[in-house]
Amino acid sequence: MTQQYLSGLVLDGRRVVVVGGGGVAQRRLPRLLESGARIDLVSPSITPTIEGLLGNPALTWIERGYQPGDLDGAWYVVVATDDAAVNDEVSAEAEERRIFCVRSDDRSRATAWTPASGQLGTVTIGVLGGGDHRRSAAVRDSILEGLRTGELAARDAERRPGVYLVGGGPGDPELITVRGRRLLAEADVVVADRLAPQQLLDELHPDVELFDAAKLPRGRAAQQEEINRILVDRGQQGKVVVRLKGGDPYVFGRGFEEALACAAAGVPWTVVPGITSSISVPAVSGIPVTHRGVTHEFTVVSGHIPPSHPDSLVNWDALAQLRGTLVLLMAVENLPAITARLIEGGRPADTPAAAIADGTLPGQQLVTSELAGIAEVMKEHGVGAPAIVVIGNVVEVAAQLAAEQSRAAGQGRPAEPGAGAGQA
């Protein structure tokens, strides 16, 4: 078997020619563009996705078939047409000009192979599996996953101290972002909320300094001041500090207050967005917050202050007039007052409503009712905080889906994969 010599090509500002505008070219172009190469794409037609890439000034489409001389000044060639004669012609010219050439149809006649590649920070992984693309990809994925989770000890050489405001997602530890999980593996200090994925804390290195930032509802502001103090203090010590929060750091969290505290103290900080529970929890319960022909908008509102409270910043009367989906966070205690105000403002009392507690977790609960009765139904079924309340006709859409699944099961047909996942 021919042995390959792996090498990292520096293509920044150099001409690369891609012949063919189909699926293979579509897969290769993004990384070539990331490399900084000047790419000439030669093909009489291109896919819609490639057409969308033409806004990048580094990519030029030559709208015709390949012609001799197209490789003038090229440093690298990718041949990706479905015409073997054209592929032979291009690779022969590349061979004559001593230009490395990748062929999608016959690697044995190419002078370069494309490895299964991936990137984590400044580290690029490239794997060649002797022509077995699935094996190459599997090995690459295993290496990247090990680096992301910390199972492989190699850390990014450019590991930067500072404070990282990380969104942990709605609760399931599998729903944190890749970068968030990698930062946990690199952390010296972790300051965690009670709504952050608790299972991830068990994976921390034993030397990590862990602070429990759990706050009860209506907790004293002094607790936030202490959190800010810890972040600033450990950041000034040159440590990697992860502030692990539930959902997204900026969606009804106090992440930006923490960012301001770091900025005022001169501590470097970075926000790492997370999956917000306002969208994800309804989704895993089978409820889309938008649906074609049903709603054109959704509104996310904090219900931690009742409508009559002088500190409330919400225009509840305006919300009552909206026809779209209303998603309430932190509203369990004040839900009776909120639903009454919405009905008083004009939202029909029979508007479908749902409540989901412990979303994405094994103990997830889902109850449905009409707007006028959702608070009482939650009480009857013991559905407490933390819970997401969804108000709108999308809840009825979800009920129709559940009915379709039930009918399909009764007729021995498999239900749609993933539909309604996590319903209790």
Catalytic positions are 193, 215
* DSSP structure class, residue 115: P
Q: Are 105 and 124 in contact (CB under 8 A)?
A: no
As a whole number of angstroms, the distance between CA 149 and CA 184 comes to 8
Name the residue with tokens 């539930």: 246
Length of the chain: 424
Q: Give the Å distances, CA to CA, from 182 to 147, 149, 247.
A: 7, 6, 17
Sheet holding 76-79, edge to edge: 59-62, 38-42, 15-19, 76-79, 100-103
Give the closest residue to 9 by CA, choosing from 87, 124, 110: 124
Q: Are 268 and 262 in contact (CB under 8 A)?
A: yes
Q: How many CB atoms lie within 10 A of CB 327?
A: 23
- Which tokens is 377 given? 């139904």
Give the H or E element holding residue 47: none
Give the closest residue to 282 by CA, choosing from 411, 196, 385, 368: 368
Q: Are 176 and 246 in contact (CB under 8 A)?
A: no
Burial of 415 (0-12, 13-18, 19+ CB in 10 A): middle
Cβ contacts of 288 within 8 Å, gap of 6 or more = 282, 394, 397, 398
Q: Are 282 and 388 in contact (CB under 8 A)?
A: yes
